[in-house]
Amino acid sequence: MVDQNALENDEPLLVAKSLSKSYGRIAACREVSFALYPGEVLAIVGESGSGKSTLLQLLSGQLAASGGHVSYRMRDGVTRDLATLGEAERRFLFRTDWGFVHQDPAQGLRMAVSAGANVGERLMAVGWNHYGRIRDTASDWLTRVEIDIARIDDAPRTYSGGMRQRLQIARNLVTEPRLVFMDEPTGGLDVSVQARLLDLVRSLVAELGLAVIIVTHDLAVARLLSHRVMVMKGGRVIETGLTDQVLDDPREPYTQLLVSSILPP
Amino acid sequence: MNAPAYNFAYLDEQTKRMIRRAILKAIAIPGYQVPFASREMPMPYGWGTGGVQVTAAILGPEDVLKVIDQGSDDTTNAISIRKFFAKTAGVATTTATQDATVIQTRHRIPETSLHANQVLIYQVPIPEPLRFLEPRETETRRMHALAEYGLMHVKLYEDIARFGHIATAYAYPVKVNARYVMDPSPTPKFDNPKMDNCPALQLFGAGREKRIYAIPPYTQVVSLDFEDHPFEPYRFNAPCALCAAENSYLDEIVTDDKGGRMFVCSDTDYCEGRQAAGHHGSLSAAPYKEKAQERDHG
């Protein structure tokens, strides 16, 4: 059993091969290749317009690539090209084995229905049909993301920004996905709330062995969460490596500029 | 006099063919909403333009038509639609559920069980059961196509979380033939069990939203629920004040401004049939009828 797990962890979960995307003459993403292993946290950093978000959408199958492909190892152990999945399979993958945390919680949550139903929706979508069990699981997850159980029947529009973001995380993790995409999850939050959220994400990732692809322009977030960093500029990956290696000893002039632009604490 | 001003049953033959094609498709895919080119009818949207078009498309000269509105044969909506077809198609009309071959209804299913030679036509205001949870039409269509109905349970979950029980009392979502989730139009959930395995053909027409859907005879119709909160039909806990029926759907009628009220069958044909058969409740309809007659004559 242990050997089996070790074997499984040896194979990449998600592989991107020379991914490209162009909008007319503008190339938003050029020849991006990498492999992501189970339990690994990969940060994609770069300035606005460097192609980070486009890359995230390509990886999560929300956008069709102009060139190259993405393959994913499904729960049954078979690695498949995302472009060959039917729409039903892709949507099923999206609400079971994947999570997607948006920068703006309003995009990832149903703002008008209660927090409990927000967390329970994925469970009901995969056929859970017992109110008591759905509610228990939802309250369990609200506790894990440090939301007061007394607020379970309140709609997220009555929540603060930080609570909304934590609720969004709970909603995504309830089906125990293996891979979570995060698009600037701390954007728009104040510094103390950011710190709490990062702390929470870090402990959940370690606890659940999640693989995460996180897009951020904040190098501090990358340093805190990720094992590996990919630096993007003009649609290309210009530098990649272990987080401390890239951030403490940057090779490329652009990365050096990026790192040196952080104010010293 | 001379040449009739209208084609039989108001609509022209090409329009009727178009509607019939939509109906056939709807019957072939139970519960699926078929788009159709809804026409302007000589009545406002919300008065049953969808139901009227379906009725016009299937009506034949031999048919006997019954029209009910909230169970009643004698409200404005029911009378005007009945007169409309009496005038434009010259078909026989009736108020007796048993005798009708085509029944157009708004918000009720008759209490008398339907038989195999009947067609029940519902007027539908909003055909999309997922509408208030997912406003995008492109998205709801995709959800139907992929049978992703988790969202429907989110609505029921919200009901239980807020009220302690499933508080949806009308337009209660059903699953037809174990495939499509369907809005049964705003009928009370009391009527939901009547749709299951019904010998009559059930057609649904939404004029403004331009959709037709159907439940073929003897089709399984299941009301959605949770294992620990099963579906329960709702009825006021009282007998009918006029015919003492214990198992019919009741209307609550306010009789004065001192809190007086009475419960009577919403299905007037069923109630009158029972009274004629000798069943009497705590109140009698006779004095009201006499007063109405006095007013008419005096």
ipTM confidence score: 0.85
Q: Tell me the nearest-neighbour CA distance from B298 into chain A, angstroms.
A: 57
Q: Which of B50, B205, B265, B273 is catalytic?
A: B265
The C-alpha atoms of residue A236 and residue A104 are separated, in whole angstroms, by: 26
- Region A38-52: mean pLDDT is 90
Helices (H), B1-89: 13-28, 49-58, 76-88
The single-letter DSSP state of residue B224 is -
Give pLDDT, residue A192.
Answer: 87
Give pLDDT, residue A259.
Answer: 87
Catalytic residue flag (residue B271):
yes
Helices (H), B89-172: 137-145, 150-163
Minimal Cβ distance to B148: which of A110, A113, A125: A125
Percent of chain B with pLDDT over 70: 94
Q: Please give the model's pTM, rounded to 2 decimal places.
A: 0.86
Percent of chain B with pLDDT over 90: 86
**What residues of A are in contact with residue B162 (Cβ under 8 Å)?**
114, 153
The C-alpha atoms of residue A247 and residue A43 are separated, in whole angstroms, by: 12
**What residues of A are in contact with residue B148 (Cβ under 8 Å)?**
91, 125
Q: Tell me the nearest-neighbour CA distance from A124 into chain B, angstroms.
A: 5
Where residue A61 falls (left for φ over 0; alpha for ψ -120 to 50; beta otherwise) is left
Q: Output A18-27 pairs: Cβ under 8 A, ≥24 positions apart.
A: A18/A67, A18/A68, A19/A55, A19/A58, A19/A59, A19/A65, A19/A67, A19/A68, A19/A69, A19/A70, A20/A65, A20/A66, A20/A67, A20/A68, A21/A51, A21/A54, A21/A58, A21/A63, A21/A65, A21/A66, A21/A67, A22/A66, A27/A235
Contact yes or no for B133 and A110 at CB 8 A = yes
Q: Which of B199, B175, B239, B212 is nearest to B109 (CA)?
A: B199
Are the C-beta atoms of A249 and A65 separated by less than 8 Å?
no
Give the chain A residue whose CA is nearest to the CA of B135. Answer: A110
Give pLDDT, residue A265.
Answer: 58
Give pLDDT, residue B106.
Answer: 94
The C-alpha atoms of residue A138 and residue A155 are separated, in whole angstroms, by: 14
The C-alpha atoms of residue A231 and residue A34 are separated, in whole angstroms, by: 12
Catalytic residue flag (residue B198):
no
Residue B263 has pLDDT above 70, yes or no: yes
- Region A35-59: mean pLDDT is 91
Dihedral angle of Cα A234, A235, A241, A245, to the nearest 10 degrees: 20
Residue A245 three-state SS: helix
**What residues of B are in contact with residue A93 (Cβ under 8 Å)?**
none
Q: Tell me the nearest-neighbour CA distance from A88 into chain B, angstroms.
A: 6
The C-alpha atoms of residue A30 and residue B43 are separated, in whole angstroms, by: 60
Structure tokens at A133: 């069990």
Give the chain A residue whose CA is nearest to the CA of B164. Answer: A131
Structure tokens at B23: 């109906």
Average pLDDT of chain A is 90
Catalytic residue flag (residue B243):
yes
Q: Tell me the nearest-neighbour CA distance from B230 into chain A, angstroms.
A: 10
Q: How many CA atoms lie within 13 A of A232 on its CB side?
A: 28
Q: Which of B31, B50, B273, B281 is catalytic?
A: B31
**Type and span of the H or E element at B187:** none
How many CB atoms sit inside 10 A of residue B146's CB?
Answer: 14
Instruction: Determine whether A94 is exposed, middle or buried from the number of CB atoms within 10 Å of its CB (0-12, 13-18, 19+).
Output: middle
Chain A residues touching chain B at CB-CB below 8 Å: 87-88, 91, 110, 113-114, 116-117, 120-126, 129-132, 134-135, 152-153
Structure tokens at B129: 């059961």
Q: Tell me the nearest-neighbour CA distance from A166 into chain B, angstroms.
A: 20
Minimal Cβ distance to A130: which of B146, B151, B228: B228
Contact yes or no for A117 and B161 at CB 8 A = yes
Contact yes or no for B146 and A117 at CB 8 A = no
> What digits encode the pLDDT tens for the residues A103-132?
999 999 999 899 999 999 999 999 899 999
Q: Number of Cβ pairs closer than 8 Å across A and B?
A: 53
Give the chain B residue whose CA is nearest to the CA of A126. Answer: B150
Instruction: Scan for tokens 């997912």, then name that residue.
Output: B134
The single-letter DSSP state of residue A51 is S
Residue A150 three-state SS: helix
> What digits encode the pLDDT tens for the residues B16-41?
999 999 999 999 999 999 999 999 99
The C-alpha atoms of residue B5 and residue B203 are separated, in whole angstroms, by: 28
**What residues of A are in contact with residue B157 (Cβ under 8 Å)?**
116-117, 120, 124, 131, 134
Give pLDDT, residue B286.
Answer: 67
Residue A177 has pLDDT above 80, yes or no: yes
